[in-house]
Structure 1
Amino acid sequence: MESLKNTANYVKDSVSEYSSTASKEANKEVAKDSNASLGTRAEAAKDALSEKIDEQKNSASAEINKEKAKN
């Protein structure tokens, strides 16, 4: 039963990781857009950094849950 829970958590963390990656990439594009205002670009850069942190946390958590599910 615990293995099933770890597998579900792995899937959830993996989906969150991919979502963070997509959001990060979108924010990076806005930050690079010379047609956007400076404020918009700065906010997008800040958001991209935040998404990068979330991406790394979700990746680490997914890896832990993956290993737990194997045991």
Structure 2
Amino acid sequence: MDTIKNAANYVQESIQGAGSTASKEANKNVAKDSDASLGTRAQAAFDSAGDKVDEQTHNRKADVHKEAAKH
């Protein structure tokens, strides 16, 4: 039963990590957009940094669940 739970958690964390990756990339593009206001660009850069932390956290959790599901 724990193996199934760990596998489901792995999938969930992987999906959340992918969502954070997409958000990070979108925010990076806004931060680089010279047509956007300075405030918008600064907020996008800040959000991108937060998304990167979320991405790494979800990916680490996914790896933990993946390893736990193997055992």
Same fold (TM over 0.5): yes
Alignment size in residue pairs: 71
Q: List runs of 5+ in structure 2 lacking aligned partners.
A: none
Partner residue of 1:56? 56
Q: Identity of aligned pairs, percent?
A: 58
Report the TM-score, using the length of structure 2 for normalisation: 0.99
RMSD: 0.2
- Give the distance between the partners of 2:13 and 2:56, measured in 1 at CA: 10
Amino acid at match of 2:6: N
- Give the distance between the partners of 1:44 and 1:69, measured in 2 at CA: 36
Asked if residue 28 in structure 1 is aligned to residue 28 in structure 2, the reply is yes
- Give the distance between the partners of 2:51 and 2:9, measured in 1 at CA: 19
Moved >2 Å (runs of 4+): none
Helix, strand or coil at the partner of 1:25: helix
Report the TM-score, using the length of structure 1 for normalisation: 0.99
How far residue 37 of structure 1 moved from its aligned partner, in angstroms, is 0.2
- Give the distance between the partners of 1:26 and 1:12, measured in 2 at CA: 21
